[in-house]
């Protein structure tokens, strides 16, 4: 079965790339639209840099994913290091901070020697 092509609010990624900045911003939800319209100079520089370069490092977790970022790798700071975010079409309109987790997944190992009565008795010889 053929995979369905991704659309954002009825537009394909190619159609979104053809839109100008203001045209795309009108498609965003209210909170993201407000943020995009009030972008600081640093966010504007990051926007332009992501248009030119593929591999960009940033601390700006509040940056919105724009259509021109699809297919690129953006390194987003998570408080300790940088997480690689491979931008997919489904991420359009999200913020970079949502894609770079700040907490590690806890994986508990097995109990150590002496953790239970049976393991303590087995280790004594």
Which domains can be identified in the chain, with CATH numbers? Answer: 13-103 (3.30.860.10)
The CA distances from residue 69 to 58, 83, 93, in Å, are 14, 16, 11
What is the dihedral angle through the alpha carbons of 43, 85, 101, 98, rounded to the nearest 10 degrees? 50
DSSP 6: P
Read off the pLDDT band of 112 (50, 70, 90).
Answer: confident
Q: Could you say which DSSP state residue 71 is in?
A: T
Report the candidate in 109, 118, 100 with the shortest Cα–Cα distance to residue 58.
Answer: 100
- Write down the pLDDT at residue 107: 85
Position 4 scores a pLDDT of 86
Length of the chain as a residue count: 125
**pLDDT of 123 strictly over 60:** no
What is the predicted pLDDT for the residue at 122? 60
Sign of CA dihedral 97, 98, 99, 101: positive
pTM score: 0.81
């Amino acid at each position: 079965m053929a995979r369905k092509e991704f659309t954002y609010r009825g537009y394909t990624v190619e159609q979104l790339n053809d839109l100008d900045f203001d045209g795309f911003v009108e498609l965003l939800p209210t909170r993201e639209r407000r943020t995009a319209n009030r972008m600081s100079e640093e966010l504007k520089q990051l926007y332009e840099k992501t248009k030119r370069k593929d591999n960009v490092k940033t601390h700006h977790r509040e940056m919105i994913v724009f259509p021109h970022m699809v297919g690129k790798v953006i390194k987003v700071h998570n408080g300790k290091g940088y997480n690689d975010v491979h931008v997919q079409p489904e991420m359009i309109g999200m913020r970079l901070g949502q894609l770079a987790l700040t907490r590690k997944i806890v994986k508990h190992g097995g109990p150590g020697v002496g953790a239970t009565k049976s393991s303590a008795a087995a280790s004594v010889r």
